[in-house]
Amino acid sequence: MRSIAGRQRLSTARDVLAVFTGLATASSRRIGVFCECRYKSTGSAFPGKVKLGDKTYQKDSWFNVPDSIATSIDRQLHTTNDHPISITRSIVESKFPAPAFKHYHDFFPVVSTHENFDSLGFPADHPGRSKTDTYYVNETTVLRTHTSAHELEIFQAKESDGYTISADVYRRDAIDKTHYPIFHQMEGARLWDREKVAHGDIAKAVWEDVERLPKHHMIVEDPNPPTHPERNPLQAGHAPEEAAAIATHLKRSLELMVVEIFSRAKAAAMATNPNYHDEPLKVRWVEAYFPWTSPSWELEIYWQDQWLEVLGSGVVQQELLQKAGVPSKLGWAFGLGLERIAMLLFEIPDIRLFWSQDPRFLSQFTGVSDDLDTLKRFIPFSKYPACYKDVAFWLPPASSSTTSAAGGLAPPQAFHENDIMEIVRNIGGDNVEDVQLTDEFTHPVSGRRSLCYRINYRSLERTLTNEEANRFHERVRGELVKKMAVELR
Ligand code: PHE
Residue 202 has pLDDT above 80, yes or no: yes
Q: Strand 487-488 relative to strand 387-394: parallel, antiparallel, unpaired?
A: antiparallel
Mean of the per-residue pLDDT values for the chain? 88
Residue 7 has pLDDT above 60, yes or no: no
The pLDDT value recorded for residue 45 is: 53
The reply to whether ligand 1 has any atom less than 6 angstroms from the CB of 132 is: no
| Centroid of ligand 1 to alpha carbon of 5 (angstroms) | 6
- Cα–Cα distance measured from residue 421 to residue 212, given in angstroms and rounded to the nearest whole number: 48
Among 129, 146, 339, name the best residue to mutate to test ligand 1's pocket (greatest count of ligand atoms within 8 A of Cβ): 146
Please state the atom number of ligand 1 nearest to the C-alpha of residue 6: 12
- Cα–Cα distance measured from residue 154 to residue 262, given in angstroms and rounded to the nearest whole number: 30
- The least confident of 14-18, 92-96, 437-441, 444-448 is 14-18
Among 1, 3, 4, name the best residue to mutate to test ligand 1's pocket (greatest count of ligand atoms within 8 A of Cβ): 3
**397 band by pLDDT with thresholds 50, 70 and 90:** confident
Residue type, 353: L
**Global pTM?**
0.87
Residue 434 has pLDDT above 60, yes or no: yes
**104 band by pLDDT with thresholds 50, 70 and 90:** very high
| Centroid of ligand 1 to alpha carbon of 436 (angstroms) | 28
The reply to whether ligand 1 has any atom less than 6 angstroms from the CB of 291 is: no
The reply to whether ligand 1 has any atom less than 6 angstroms from the CB of 313 is: yes
pLDDT in tens, 399-417: 765 444 434 444 445 789 9
Residue 41 has pLDDT above 70, yes or no: no
| Centroid of ligand 1 to alpha carbon of 313 (angstroms) | 6
The reply to whether ligand 1 has any atom less than 6 angstroms from the CB of 333 is: yes
The reply to whether ligand 1 has any atom less than 6 angstroms from the CB of 5 is: yes
pLDDT in tens, 345-363: 999 999 999 999 999 999 9
| Centroid of ligand 1 to alpha carbon of 336 (angstroms) | 7
More confident residue, 278 or 438: 438
The reply to whether ligand 1 has any atom less than 6 angstroms from the CB of 187 is: yes
Residue 15 has pLDDT above 70, yes or no: no
Element (H, E) at 359: helix 359-362
The pLDDT value recorded for residue 414 is: 78
The reply to whether ligand 1 has any atom less than 6 angstroms from the CB of 188 is: no
Q: Note the helical H segments in 36-131.
A: 67-70, 84-94, 113-116
The reply to whether ligand 1 has any atom less than 6 angstroms from the CB of 312 is: yes
Percent of the chain topping pLDDT 70: 88
**33 band by pLDDT with thresholds 50, 70 and 90:** very low
The CA distances from residue 321 to 120, 158, 242, 252, 452, in Å, are 10, 11, 16, 23, 48
pLDDT in tens, 43-71: 345 679 999 999 999 999 999 999 999 99
Residue type, 435: V
Among 289, 213, 302, residue whose Cα is nearest residue 254: 213
The pLDDT value recorded for residue 203 is: 98
The reply to whether ligand 1 has any atom less than 6 angstroms from the CB of 295 is: no
Per the CB < 8 A criterion, the answer to whether 386 and 458 are in contact is yes
| Centroid of ligand 1 to alpha carbon of 346 (angstroms) | 24
Please state the atom number of ligand 1 nearest to the C-alpha of residue 189: 9
The pLDDT value recorded for residue 221 is: 98
Contact partners, residue 449, CB within 8 Å, separation at least 6: 394, 395, 399, 400, 403, 415, 440, 441, 442, 443
Residue 28 has pLDDT above 80, yes or no: no
- Cα–Cα distance measured from residue 439 to residue 453, given in angstroms and rounded to the nearest whole number: 7
The pLDDT value recorded for residue 401 is: 52
Please state the atom number of ligand 1 nearest to the C-alpha of residue 311: 5
The pLDDT value recorded for residue 398 is: 72
- Cα–Cα distance measured from residue 59 to residue 49, given in angstroms and rounded to the nearest whole number: 5
The pLDDT value recorded for residue 26 is: 22
Kindly report the protein residue whose alpha carbon is nearest to atom 9 of ligand 1.
334
| Centroid of ligand 1 to alpha carbon of 450 (angstroms) | 36
**35 band by pLDDT with thresholds 50, 70 and 90:** very low
| Centroid of ligand 1 to alpha carbon of 286 (angstroms) | 14
The pLDDT value recorded for residue 280 is: 84
The reply to whether ligand 1 has any atom less than 6 angstroms from the CB of 317 is: no
- Cα–Cα distance measured from residue 397 to residue 294, given in angstroms and rounded to the nearest whole number: 43
